[in-house]
Structure 1
């Protein structure tokens, strides 16, 4: 759909003798203001849909527009403007296509994924759970953490539609592969845990996301700049690389207003890890930490991860051996890496339009209704901390919402 819109709109511009350019594949086309007015009229006359985008574009652009073919679906929950050809309108000349405030480097995406419905995985999980003598209701081992409702399928749909400039996608799994995933794709790499754990025979199998996340820096071929994305995070509309990275590649992370030390349950693994992160920052930088980070896509710098490995090599090696979340864990890409980036001058805070829904809460149905009515979100998360009392019913609600929000199959699907 995007390829057709790009072909039709650029062909029409060439036919009219209108000058345009593009900084890199996947990024928007660039056109001068005076030329855009003429092209805009021609595109509309040719039956193409021209819709203005929000402010996710180059800092040099006065505006950005999506051009879609007449075959593109309309209506419904989704904002499908990201499926179109994106045109940026520059009020100045086109001598340089990248503003001094823009980031236009290569960006990869990393997903971690597990399918708890896989009988082999589930058998291994139960065996490790018995060996660890951990109660199933413990938040650190609760099976709700691993439940799959095809979120990955829809997260990838949202990424391909709204972040077309992403280069490689790495899917880190425990030897699993979604049945719907394409067997081969030039931009998709399925990475087994054994490929990234420094001592796989000692550490695997693992059911600890903190352990897996501690090894992301070992992914072969991973770019310096990447997004770490959980499969329960979705991109609600077209976003420019500037949303995630600063002018020279600083990671732009999203703080919450909440202080983890004020959480109702300080024993939850997320709060224990936050306290451990704080101790690390105190020891290495003489600073404290306080606020939580939003559950969004996390921009990362590979050099930051390497510095953490250099400073905390033995600690990370220990975390890698924890088969379930432990009280001594660190949460690296979602928290500690941001704290390190801040102190190293490689990251700074930003804000995005975002909503979080917890499937297990009493307010779930109301929260989903609000989500469905909350247009203009950059990202949203549908998470499950503990199992719900009516999981099948709630899973159906989530599935219906996601299929309506992202109805167009991605190129990553068979």
Structure 2
């Protein structure tokens, strides 16, 4: 099964010389020129949000696009609440590159009923949204030596999920997650990449929309707490990122955006964070001692003490919309607890999982967030069903977000790194503007 999938993905994953951003800009320039030549009025809320046209003029504009040789594909319901439909308009000769269905690489046009007074609905959120990634290069010899030294001093068992090497293994996920973000979330403002002073070899030295953040820049006590190998500790310090916007999306590098998504997917009309709850309950987990389940139980205790409410449900492993105000509130209410978590160099029994869980609970109780649903898929690389799951996902173009994760490396388990890389290269063939040429 794995070899058959390799052949499929390799045949689909040839790398074009263009980026999603350059294709989108070319399509926008050409489609705007066509509209102007026909004298058709249009507008847009901002340079990174869709173009908008009156429904009365859409049939004429649609025909004009076709006459100009452009390819027009309908979008799923990812557009302004005021629009009746949205369309991806792209340059047709890109079909031969195997990227015909990457609708985020086209110019997005929204169709509004009646005359457009303003291209913003009362229900739309169109404020500034940043993205935050946390990333580590476990192949870095200096990092690896620090990890081994800290692990030996801790006395922890290497088979423990909290310190297992699978948690740090890189399969180039960050490269493809950034590709998926630039393709499908072109409205994101700044991207902050939080690392242990590391930089991916393929990442451009300078980019106007990407900022590297060293752990030392955000940890309150860097001398006493670093180096750290605990994602919970790093997440507890995200609110200290300089110039971070009030609304920001926290993205693990194993999460990918499967198709174009509007800001309304992540935020409500007043900027409320829209989080995705799982149907699973952490108290019923097969292994309640896993760090993720222990942290969920700790989160529940905080919520009980603060709000007199309980929690039980897990949250899906998707991109997590955040409110900086919520993180600031947590810092004010429990500074000693936050400092304690920051000092845990490995995942520990007293950790809290803040951006992926506790922040959502707080946002709900403070009126700053509420639940939503997305079309989501999850693949555990270590499971026996992984090859079949990859095949299903390869055929599914209607997924909003998906996660490719490995909880624990098992002895004798097949190495599926090549399968992951080939799948991602096929799904996201367009390099991002963040990559070296």
TM-score of the aligned structures, taking structure 2 as reference length:
0.93
Q: How big is the alpha-carbon RMSD for the aligned residues of Structure 1 and Structure 2? A: 1.2
**Deviations for 1:330-359, whole angstroms, at most 9, x for unmatched residues?**
000000000000000000000000000011
Q: For the residues of structure 1 that align with 2:51 and 2:184, how far apart are their CA atoms?
A: 15
Q: Report SS of the residue matched to 1:270.
A: helix
Alignment match, 1:40: 62
Matches within 5 A, 1:10-409: 10-73=32-95, 79-389=101-411, 393-409=415-431
1:20 CA drift (Å): 0.3
Gaps of 5+ in 1: none
Q: Within 1, Cα distance between the matches of 2:96 and 2:413? A: 31
Contact preservation (8 Å) 1:77, 1:372: no
Aligned twin of 1:7: 29
Q: TM-score, normalised by structure 1?
A: 0.98
State how far apart, in whole Å, the 2-side matches of 1:166 and 1:366 are.
Answer: 33
Any conservation in 2 of the 1:79–1:237 contact (CA below 8 Å)?
A: no
Tell me if the contact between 2:137 and 2:198 (Cα under 8 Å) persists in the aligned partners. Answer: yes
Contact 1:140 1:269 in 2 (8 A): yes
Aligned residues: 414
**Gap runs ≥5 in structure 2:** 1-22
Cα distance, 1:302 vs. partner? 0.3
SS in structure 1 of the partner of residue 322 of structure 2: strand
CA apart distance, 1:364: 1.4
Structure 1 runs, 4 residues or longer, greater than 4 Å off = 74-78, 388-392
Write out per-residue CA displacement over residues 367-396 of structure 1, whole angstroms, 9 at most, x where no aligned residue.
212221222000000001001456674111
CA distance in 1, matches of 2:44, 2:423: 35
Which segment drifts farther, 35-44 or 229-238?
A: 35-44
Residue 408 to residue 259, structure 1, CA distance change in 2 (3 Å): same
Tell me if the contact between 2:56 and 2:114 (Cα under 8 Å) persists in the aligned partners: no
Asked if the contact 1:295/1:381 (under 8 Å) is kept, the reply is: yes
The 8 Å contact of residues 50 and 107 in structure 2, kept in 1 or not, is answered as yes
